[in-house]
Amino acid sequence: MTDTPVLEIRNLHKQYGNLEVIKGVDITAHRGDVVSLIGSSGSGKSTILRCANLLEDSQQGDILFKGEAVHWKGKGLGRHPADPKQVLRIRTNLSMVFQQFNLWAHMTILQNVMEAPVTVLGRDRAEAEQAARGYLDKVGIGDKCDAYPAQLSGGQQQRAAIARALCMEPEALLFDEPTSALDPELEQEVVRVIKDLASEGRTMLIVTHDMKMARDVSDHVVFLHQGLIEEEGAPDNLFGAPKSERLRGFLSSTMAD
């Protein structure tokens, strides 16, 4: 493990108008760390992920990628990144997998996976295709290269979205509720892929409602409540011996589902 984290969030604040939804959060992911963010709907989990990937502007705090801080201009609600090239560079190294798969309906699965490496990174098309086929094999849908998204199940579409993220060769993967739009049996297909990626030592931030997956794959779990970190630590401690009353209540309600 290097001393410099892949991703570091310091004192993050995020507002929508007068509503402050993130109230000063610190999260660190070193190389190979799997960090899961858990908490009730509205606790700020997905917002943190979107701020980390610069899809949303934060109003205060620092975001560092491999020790390099995002440059900002303006203050408060007028604050935004100062350098579009820096934003693009960071975003291409933090591949995001969304709850809704966001695949291009008019492209085959293979075209979906190789599109960004060719257009964003300028990779050779033949090389990108070879890599894309490899990643589709990796997530177990190599036989679906020529199919269109509408011809795939939700679990297959989400695995295609993971292959697309991997094809960017990112430094870290950000998962925003990757299984919540899926039926339970399809969910397990995606969980298996995420577990495989964790076992390979990939750096991941995962927002999830799946407590079993969070417990199984994470090195560190962060429980958010109303925009603040209520409790965090190793999964065995958080799930096995939660200290805070709020976390105990949250786990009893979610584990009972």
CB 200 within 8 A of CB 30: no
Place of tokens 């799930």: 239
* Residue 1: per-residue pLDDT: 46
CB 121 within 8 A of CB 92: yes
* Sign of the torsion angle spanned by Cα atoms 231, 233, 238, 240: negative
Pairing of strands 94-97, 80-81: unpaired
Bridge partner residues of 188 (DSSP): none
Question: Burial, 20: exposed, middle or buried (Cβ in 10 Å; 0-12, 13-18, 19+)?
Answer: middle
| 235-250 confidence digits (pLDDT tens) | 999 999 999 999 999 9
Go through the chain and tell me how many residues it has: 257
In angstroms, the CA 205 to CA 28 distance is 10
Phi and psi angles of residue 4, each rounded to the nearest 5 degrees, phi first? -85, 120
Collapsed DSSP state (helix, strand, coil) of residue 1: coil
Report the candidate in 123, 54, 117, 131 with the shortest Cα–Cα distance to residue 91.
54
Sorted by sequence, the CB contacts under 8 Å of residue 185 that are 6+ apart come out as: 155
Complete domains list, the chain, with CATH: 1-99+176-185+210-257 (3.40.50.300), 102-172 (no CATH)
| 123-145 confidence digits (pLDDT tens) | 999 999 999 999 999 999 999 99
- What does the radius of gyration of the chain's CA atoms come to, in whole angstroms? 18
Bridge partner residues of 232 (DSSP): 222
Q: How far is CA 211 from the centre of its chain?
A: 16
* Residue 256: per-residue pLDDT: 58
* Residue 230: per-residue pLDDT: 97
Task: Report residues of the chain scoring pLDDT below 50.
Answer: 1, 257
| 51-63 confidence digits (pLDDT tens) | 999 999 999 999 9
- pTM recorded for the entire structure: 0.93
* Residue 184: per-residue pLDDT: 86
Consecutive H or E run containing 23:
strand 19-29
